[in-house]
Structure 1
């Protein structure tokens, strides 16, 4: 089903409404951030984690109104939009931007937002039946700073990675940080299982602080699987037993190949089952 409505600053409008003015700061400067979420049975998943990350991101960007973006707000607004669109399962995107004029320096820090919903025919998280084939995107390393963990509207690194993926007929790509260490994928966090130990790049390595990343770390600890957030040399990809990706929309996605290396997915399947048990 094609979504009919969006929520723009609290107003329900047709999804094809032309809204962005020429002075919109998200359009002009990428001055904002966004939250990707999953809708199941008409309700948003993990609203507390999403609200916490969103509020911390707004504080970091000095956008006012972050206290409004609490779990209740996310649950209420997403459920209402799902009802309006008659959609039970889908992918949500909440974009928050600085609603102000000015050049690089804004005239104020007022918040504006837009909530969108895309329909999916999946009532739960499905592990991909065909593993992903991946390679490393080296053309544009990701910088490491206090904005690196936030899903900002400045996404050119991921756009260029997506073009590289398409041009090389890959399913996904690994991103490196400015120091040459493993950072994330173009739209997901990365987990590497090596010698019965699970590793994921630490937040200090510049990866986005993914909600599903937090959930999977918790599931691993709950199942007594050793897990470490670390600085990871990409050479480990040639030795790893399993590699998988996580994001809020798709859950857990299994990687089958990197170059000539092929991976198993036993642990990946276990964690995917545990995720759905939540």
Structure 2
């Protein structure tokens, strides 16, 4: 379903309104960051976690106005946009860019933003019926620095991973960091169930600091499931009992296969049930 309206710097406008010029720094340099979120029953989910991550990302990129982007602001603006789009459930993308001139060095650090809503029919998260078939994308290792944990608008690594995925007829791909360790998936964080223990790459390994990643870690601990953030050798994918992916848009998605290896989905089902209770 195509959304009818967006929020551009506080104005509700038709989604097809021409808005950006070639001077926009998000277009020119990928100078910005974004949040992917979900709305169920007219309410933005995990707004506190999204606001916290967004504010920390804006601070790190030295974009002014981060104090404005609190949970109340996100909930209010998303729910307002949902009413205009006559949507109860949907996927939300909030893009924040540096609204300034200049070349690599910006003339200002002023904030600009846009909120987009894609209506959806699902009132909760669902586990994928068909497990994902995956492989490792090795062409562009992801660097490990503080920018790696932020969902920046500079996404060429993920674009090239997506092209590799399509050309290889895969459902998703794993990404490695510059040291050859497991980092994340093309659009999600990764969890590995091995020897009755849940592992996920630590933030020091260069993965995006996913909101759903933190939610799942919290759920696992609350349900007495041992979970460790660690440096993970990709060889563990051949030995693991279960692998699943997490992001705020889709919740939890289980992986069925990597090469000839096949996985179960018992833990992912358990965690998804607990997620929907939230």
* TM-score (norm. length: structure 2): 1.00
**How well do the aligned residues superpose, as a CA RMSD in angstroms?**
0.4
**What is the CA–CA distance in structure 1 between the aligned matches of 2:119 and 2:73, rounded to whole Å?**
21
Structure-1 residue corresponding to 2:175: 175
Gaps of 5+ in 1: none
Name the counterpart of 1:128: 128
Q: 1:217-275: CA deviations, max 9, x gaps?
A: 00000010100000000000000000000000000000010000000011110001000
Q: Deviations over 1:128-164 (max 9, x none)?
A: 0110000000001001111000000000000000000
d(CA) in 2 for partners of 1:20, 1:187: 26
Q: How far 1:120 moved relative to its partner?
A: 1.1
Query: What secondary structure, in the 3-state scheme, does the structure 2 residue paired with 1:147 have?
Result: helix
Q: 1:214: which partner in 2? A: 214
Q: Quick one: distance in 1 between partners of 2:212 and 2:127?
A: 14
Matching of residues 58-77 of structure 1 within 5 Å: 58-77=58-77
Q: Mapping of 1:1-278 within 5 angstroms?
A: 1-278=1-278
Q: Distance in 2 between matches of 1:47 and 1:248?
A: 11
1:71 CA displacement? 0.2
Please state how far the C-alpha of 1:121 moved relative to its aligned partner: 1.1
Quote how far apart the aligned CAs of 1:109 are. Answer: 0.3
Q: Distance in 1 between matches of 2:22 and 2:166?
A: 31
TM-superposed deviation, 1:68 = 0.1
CA distance in 2, matches of 1:180, 1:250: 27
Aligned length: 278
CA distance in 1, matches of 2:191, 2:258: 14
Provide the secondary structure at the position in 2 that maps to 1:19.
coil
SS at match of 2:21: coil
Q: Helix, strand or coil: the match of 2:148? A: coil
Q: Structure 2: 5+ residue runs without aligned partners?
A: none
For the residues of structure 2 that align with 1:170 and 1:182, how far apart are their CA atoms? 18
TM-score, length basis structure 1: 1.00
Separation (CA, whole Å) in 2 of partners of 1:128 and 1:93 = 22
Which deviations, in whole Å up to 9, do the C-alpha atoms of 1:62-117 show, x marking residues without a partner? 00000000000000000000000001111000000000000000001000000000
CA shift for structure 1 position 195: 0.2
SS in 1 for 2:244: strand
Segments of 4+ moved more than 2 angstroms: none
Task: Tell me the SS of whatever aligns to 2:157.
Answer: helix
Alignment partners' CA distance in 2, 1:15 and 1:70:
24
